[in-house]
């Protein structure tokens, strides 16, 4: 798989039924190793090892109902009171981060109402903070440490 702009780690990869799988420590199971999953596992590792996000307060593939349809958030980080704080959307490394990607994560946020949105393709990472009082958002220089999040 492609080298990413994230700290390296040694993932658990095994072949099952002729297909490569990677262990997801959040879901506690092996999942298909796709380019997007490669990004997810590296980013989750970054969040837990470098940004102090408790693994127990992360969830992958979170189902949300939006306008009568079911959608899945790639990763959601929760407070210790199990309130959603951050939504992370991943794309494969060859997929550019565009306005359409932010539109997608913003739609998910219509349901979850988090304060932070993160988008990554493993090479580029963007984080914005939503200010609901001012009805605005601002892009941050980096990914906040878990301890910096409000209501954590």
pLDDT at 151 over 70: no
Going from the N-terminus, what domains does the chain have, and what CATH number goes with each?
51-148 (3.90.1570.30)
Percent of the chain with pLDDT over 90: 78
Give the number of other CB atoms < 10 A from CB of residue 61: 14
Percent of the chain with pLDDT over 70: 97
What's the average model confidence in pLDDT over 125-146?
93
Residue with tokens 């990607």: 101
SS3 59: strand
Residue 61 tokens read as 């593939």
Q: pLDDT tens across 103-134, in order?
A: 889 888 989 999 999 999 999 999 999 999 99
- ∠25-31-37 over CA atoms, to 5°? 85
Q: pLDDT tens across 56-80, in order?
A: 999 999 999 988 889 899 999 999 9
Residue 45's pLDDT band, with cuts at 50, 70 and 90, is very high
């Amino acid at each position: 798989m492609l080298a990413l702009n994230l700290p390296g780690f040694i993932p658990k990869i095994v072949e099952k039924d002729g297909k490569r799988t990677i262990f997801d420590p959040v879901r506690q199971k092996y999942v298909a190793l796709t380019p997007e999953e490669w990004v997810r596992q590296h980013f989750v590792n970054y969040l837990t090892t470098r940004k102090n996000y408790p693994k127990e307060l992360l969830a992958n593939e979170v189902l949300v109902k939006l306008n009568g349809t079911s959608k899945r958030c790639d990763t959601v980080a929760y407070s210790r009171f199990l309130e959603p704080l951050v939504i992370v959307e991943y794309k494969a490394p060859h997929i550019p981060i565009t306005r359409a990607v932010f539109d997608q994560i913003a739609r998910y946020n219509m349901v979850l109402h988090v304060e932070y949105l993160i988008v990554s393709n493993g090479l580029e990472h963007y984080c914005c903070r939503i200010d609901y009082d001012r009805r605005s958002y601002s892009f941050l220089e980096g990914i906040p440490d878990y301890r910096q999040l409000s209501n954590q």
